[in-house]
Structure 1
Amino acid sequence: MTGSPDRLTRALSILDHLEPGAPERVRANLDAFHPDTAELVLGYAFADILGREGIDLRTREMMTVAMLAAMGTAQGQLEFHMRAALNVGVTREEVVEIVLQVSVYAGVPACMNAITAAREAFEAIDEG
């Protein structure tokens, strides 16, 4: 492993807070690619950045949803982070407002993709 086991443990803990059960699925997928991938990717994204102090996790998830929606090219990640945002206290109405804001600054096609992701995220949360 290239980094610290504590770093990966912290990353997986944050990921589990965002969506219970996600660490096992995500880690299995990354480990199947290469044994160092989980520590490198999740360690950086979740332990080093998302886990920083200064902005609470709820706000970070709202920002993440907005950025992924604006990109318009990461549908799976967008849906995951919409579910994660809902799991850490972002309301559906706030998700809707973020998606509508995307239409102004990133365009209607990105907004339409975000609407699809939001509907899927809402359905997944409703199904439990």
Structure 2
Amino acid sequence: MTHTQAQHGGAAESRLERGRRILSEIDGHAGERVVDALADIAPDFARYLLEFPFGDIYARPGLDVRAREIATIAALTALGNAGPQLKVHIAAGLNVGLDRREIVETIIQMAVYAGFPAALNGLFAAKDVFAQEPA
């Protein structure tokens, strides 16, 4: 097995296949919508999105998907300018087993390092996602 392939279901899985599988497990249909939205403007970028973050990074051992989503929510909150991506990852966090309290606390923690405006934006993004998701 090479770095760019992993065993899954008895057959070698490409980075692209692994990325599609992991994206689907984490983000469900929201991730597919992002990839589909890029098809007519930047299909290569959609492939990069599948292969690198999901096919390579998310597939690494060492952190489970819950920890990876906490880190992602924190980073996107700290950026302060990634609202749509933050909403996707808040929904993904819920999908992989984070509860609302853990997500809110992760975002509040970012007030210390990224400032109140970034944390406020993150909390409002969470509020929007929570309103669309069953409790």
Structure 1 residues 100, 37: CA separation in 2 closer, same or farther (over 3 Å shift)? same
For the aligned residues, what is the CA RMSD? 1.9
In 2, distance between residues paired with 1:40 and 1:19?
17
The farther-off stretch of 112-121 and 6-15 is 6-15
In 2, distance between residues paired with 1:23 and 1:100?
25
- 2:27·2:89 contact (CA, 8 Å) conserved in 1? no
Structure 1 residues 66-93: Cα deviation after superposition (integer angstroms, max 9, x where no partner): 0000110100000110110111011111
The farther-off stretch of 33-42 and 115-124 is 33-42
Query: Secondary structure of 2:36's match?
Result: helix
Larger Rg: 2
1:78 is the counterpart of 2:99: no
| Aligned position for 1:107 | 115
- 1:64·1:81 contact (CA, 8 Å) conserved in 2? yes
| Aligned position for 1:16 | 24
Residue from 64, 69, 87 that aligns with 2:72: 64
Gaps of 5+ in 1: none
More strand by share: 2
Gaps of 5+ in 2: 6-12
What percentage of aligned pairs have identical amino acids? 42
Structure 1 residues 2-37: Cα deviation after superposition (integer angstroms, max 9, x where no partner): x99822221111111112223431221122123322
Structure 1 residues 35, 100: CA separation in 2 closer, same or farther (over 3 Å shift)? closer
In 1, distance between residues paired with 2:35 and 2:85?
15
- 2:16·2:55 contact (CA, 8 Å) conserved in 1? yes
The farther-off stretch of 100-109 and 31-40 is 31-40
| Aligned position for 1:95 | 103
In 2, distance between residues paired with 1:39 and 1:73?
23
TM-score norm. by structure 1 comes to 0.88
Structure 1 residues 37-73: Cα deviation after superposition (integer angstroms, max 9, x where no partner): 2221221111111121111111000000000001101
In 1, distance between residues paired with 2:70 and 2:59?
15
| Aligned position for 2:8 | none
Matched AA of 2:112: V
TM-score norm. by structure 2 comes to 0.84
